[in-house]
């Protein structure tokens, strides 16, 4: 018997679709019905962020790629009550409740590896690397749901400038806190812990890629990845590692948790690509939370004009 659960137990059961059934003419109806199950409830709990401290000095981002100004924001109550955060629980509706007592006191973020100035930052020093800037981004989950979220954060490039990567560095690796006393689901083998992720260095340097420390003008709630979360808006949500404690510059492609767990389903690049289906469901459309009906999935989540050049010459069906 394997010590890892099957993939069907990793991906929530309500989105464990049979792709062949979609292709037999039931794509629209089947997707809509399955999505209805996905958003079945908010379980009566309202872990809103109204009691969290506001982030002072927030600078509104300019119009253009840093702000989605032609789409409605997802209501905050839904952003903070419907979450993927397996360290707490695999039940999206229950993350907020499981995270309500999570504390970030004394948090440290180590930056190491192939850089001239490795350093361990406390939260204050980390946040001071860049002015807090509001950026309204589309957020697209691999499970075919999406949100529009006003993140507060600063470019990853600000951190990289502070530690001065070596010329031979090619990737940036990220790691989540490993602490089963604070992350109760780390006592299970639903994933291999701690959660790890990575970007190519040029992706991390892109001005759209940020470290988020808040949303809706307030400090980041625990269920959304407090105190520091990676946000790369042209990639699927599983790339957005939460509660980061270590960042490493390296010359080798880093391991990423979901790619290691199910490599045929979750690629290292994780670029939003409606032409590359998940093996068990279509990625051609998505359900925007708080909207009825479905909308067409945009290549690179709508940021193609800004980021497509990063992948010139690559087969994005092979490098998914």
DSSP 250-285: ESSPPP-HHHHH-TTTS-SS-B--TTS-BTTB--SE
Is 16 among the domain residues?
yes
* Residue 305 clears pLDDT 70, i.e. is over it: yes
Is 181 among the domain residues?
yes
On whether the CB atoms of residues 134 and 150 are closer than 8 A, the answer is yes
Instruction: Please tell me the predicted confidence (pLDDT) of residue 98.
Output: 97
Grade residue 67 by pLDDT with cuts at 50, 70 and 90.
Answer: very high
Using CA atoms, how far apart are residues 172 and 232, in angstroms rounded to an integer? 13
> What residues does 230 pair with on adjacent strands?
211
Is 283 among the domain residues?
yes
Q: For residue 156, what are the contacts with CB-CB under 8 A and spacing of at least 6? A: 172, 199, 204, 205, 209, 210, 211, 230
* Residue 31 clears pLDDT 50, i.e. is over it: no
Grade residue 319 by pLDDT with cuts at 50, 70 and 90.
Answer: very high
Instruction: Please tell me the predicted confidence (pLDDT) of residue 88.
Output: 98
Is 121 among the domain residues?
yes
Instruction: Please tell me the predicted confidence (pLDDT) of residue 43.
Output: 39
Instruction: Please tell me the predicted confidence (pLDDT) of residue 50.
Output: 52
* Residue 46 clears pLDDT 80, i.e. is over it: no
> What residues does 80 pair with on adjacent strands?
none
Is 2 among the domain residues?
no
* Residue 170 clears pLDDT 60, i.e. is over it: yes
Give 49-82 as a DSSP string: STTSPBPTTPEEPPSBTTB--SSPPPPHHHHTTS
Work out the average pLDDT over 83-105. Answer: 97
State pLDDT tens for residues 124-140: 999 999 999 999 999 99
Least confident of 46-60, 86-100, 164-178: 46-60
Reduced to 3 states (helix: H, G, I; strand: E, B; else coil), residue 172 is strand
On whether the CB atoms of residues 153 and 133 are closer than 8 A, the answer is yes
Is 96 among the domain residues?
yes
Using CA atoms, how far apart are residues 70 and 149, in angstroms rounded to an integer? 13
- Number of structural domains (the chain) is 1
State pLDDT tens for residues 233-290: 999 999 999 999 999 999 999 999 999 999 999 999 999 999 999 999 999 999 999 9
Is 1 among the domain residues?
no
Instruction: Please tell me the predicted confidence (pLDDT) of residue 6.
Output: 44
CATH number at residue 38: 3.90.420.10
Grade residue 11 by pLDDT with cuts at 50, 70 and 90.
Answer: very low
Helix (H) or strand (E) holding 228: none
Instruction: Please tell me the predicted confidence (pLDDT) of residue 12.
Output: 42
Is 318 among the domain residues?
no
Using CA atoms, how far apart are residues 89 and 98, in angstroms rounded to an integer? 7
State which residues form the domain around 266.
7-311
């Amino acid at each position: 018997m394997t010590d890892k659960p099957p993939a069907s137990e990793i991906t929530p059961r309500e989105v464990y679709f049979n792709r062949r059934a979609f292709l037999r003419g039931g794509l629209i109806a089947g997707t809509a019905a399955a999505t209805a199950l996905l958003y079945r409830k908010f379980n009566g709990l309202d872990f809103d962020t109204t009691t969290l401290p506001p982030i002072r000095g927030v600078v509104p981002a300019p119009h253009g790629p840093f702000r989605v100004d032609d789409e409605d924001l997802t209501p905050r109550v839904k952003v903070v009550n419907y979450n993927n955060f397996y360290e707490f629980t695999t039940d999206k509706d229950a993350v907020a409740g499981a995270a309500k007592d999570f504390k970030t006191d004394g948090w440290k973020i180590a930056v190491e590896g192939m850089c001239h100035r490795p350093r361990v930052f406390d939260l204050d020093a980390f946040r001071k690397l860049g002015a807090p800037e509001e950026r309204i981004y589309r957020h697209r989950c691999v499970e075919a749901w999406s949100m529009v979220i006003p993140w507060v954060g600063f470019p990853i490039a600000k951190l990289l400038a502070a530690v001065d990567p070596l010329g031979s560095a090619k990737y940036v690796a990220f790691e989540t806190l490993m602490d089963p006393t604070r992350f109760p689901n780390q006592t299970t083998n639903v994933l291999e812990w701690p959660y790890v992720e990575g970007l190519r260095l040029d992706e991390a340097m892109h001005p759209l890629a940020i470290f988020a420390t808040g949303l809706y003008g307030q400090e980041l709630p625990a269920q959304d990845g407090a105190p520091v979360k990676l946000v790369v808006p042209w990639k699927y949500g599983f790339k957005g590692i939460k509660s980061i404690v270590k960042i490493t510059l390296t010359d080798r492609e880093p391991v990423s948790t979901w790619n290691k767990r199910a490599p045929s389903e979750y690629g290292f690049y994780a670029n939003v690509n409606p032409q590359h289906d998940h093996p068990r469901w279509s990625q051609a459309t998505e359900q925007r939370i708080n909207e009825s009906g479905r909308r067409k999935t945009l290549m690179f989540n709508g940021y193609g004009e800004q980021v497509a050049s990063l992948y010139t010459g690559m087969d994005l069906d092979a490098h998914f």
